[in-house]
Amino acid sequence: MGLATSVRLWCMGASELAEAIRSRQVSSREVVEAHLQRISGVNLAINAVTVVLAEEAMQAADAADQPAVHGTDLPRLHGVPFTIKANIDLAGSPTTVGLKALAGAFAAQDAPAVARMRAAAAIPIGRTNCPTLAVRWHTDSELWGPTVNPWDSAVTPGASSGGEAAALVTGMSPIGLGNDGLGSLRWPAQCCGVSTLKPTLGRIPHATCIEPVVVSIGIQLTVVDGPMARRVADLRAAA
């Protein structure tokens, strides 16, 4: 019996999945399929994942499983899926910031944090919800509606990375990217029960190609992109 049939892959942490792929106990395709199935099964009730990148993710997983790329010296997140908050640029996907006006604002290139995840051979699988303009204490966007706290629908999942936190805790993603100025990583992590890290300012470059690219000095001195995961040990792999 293989790992994919004996274990619910969507329950595993990102580093565990990377090791299982590296040791060929499971394929990247099986891991990505498991998370896509999980999204299909639970996202309707939670509304955490706003865009599913199924076709692109499966193509990337098949490429990751090619015999020529296998070996012991693979990148740290080789073949592992990840999700990206709606206000972080992902090439070919809209950076909506929860706004209807930006529903067609397709990014021409990845944000630095996304580029680093790709360099670690992780695979984008979906975009996650954030409040309109990412400035509220509850995740409810005019474009996608509210995200539900998976533990209790009567309380908030937090914000502004609430969609990311809810996706992680329900197994729709093993690891993801959000950002934080005044608590936007830490507050939803607390509300949903996941792990996060607000990196030191400047530790992870922060940039966007979506207008307006000039932001206030206050935002420049507070907002940083950072990782979220169900397990503390996985944060290092994405930092």
Using the predicted structure, report yes or no on whether residue 136 has a pLDDT greater than 90. no
Q: Is 173 a catalytic residue?
A: no
Q: Rounded to the nearest 5 degrees, what angle is found at the Cα of 205, between the Cα atoms of 178 and 230?
A: 30
Distance CA 86, CA 88 (A): 6
For the domain made up of 3-238, give the CATH fold.
Amidase signature (AS) enzymes (3.90.1300)
Amino acid letter, 64: A
- 160 catalytic? Reply is yes
State the catalytic residue, choosing from 27, 28, 141, 160.
Answer: 160
Q: Which of 56-60, 150-154, 207-211 has the lowest mean pLDDT?
A: 207-211
DSSP 207-238: ---SSP----HHHHTT-EEEEEESSHHHHHHH
Select which of 85, 93, 161, 195 is catalytic: 85
The residue extents of the domains of the chain are 3-238
Give percent of the chain above pLDDT 90.
Answer: 82
Q: Name the pLDDT band for 218 (thresholds 50, 70, 90).
A: low
- Section 101-122 average pLDDT: 96
Q: What pLDDT was estimated at residue 1?
A: 47
Rounded to the nearest integer, the mean pLDDT of the chain is 93
Query: What is the average pLDDT across 10-22?
Result: 97
Alpha carbons 76 and 131: distance in angstroms, whole number = 31
Q: Any catalytic annotation for residue 184?
A: yes
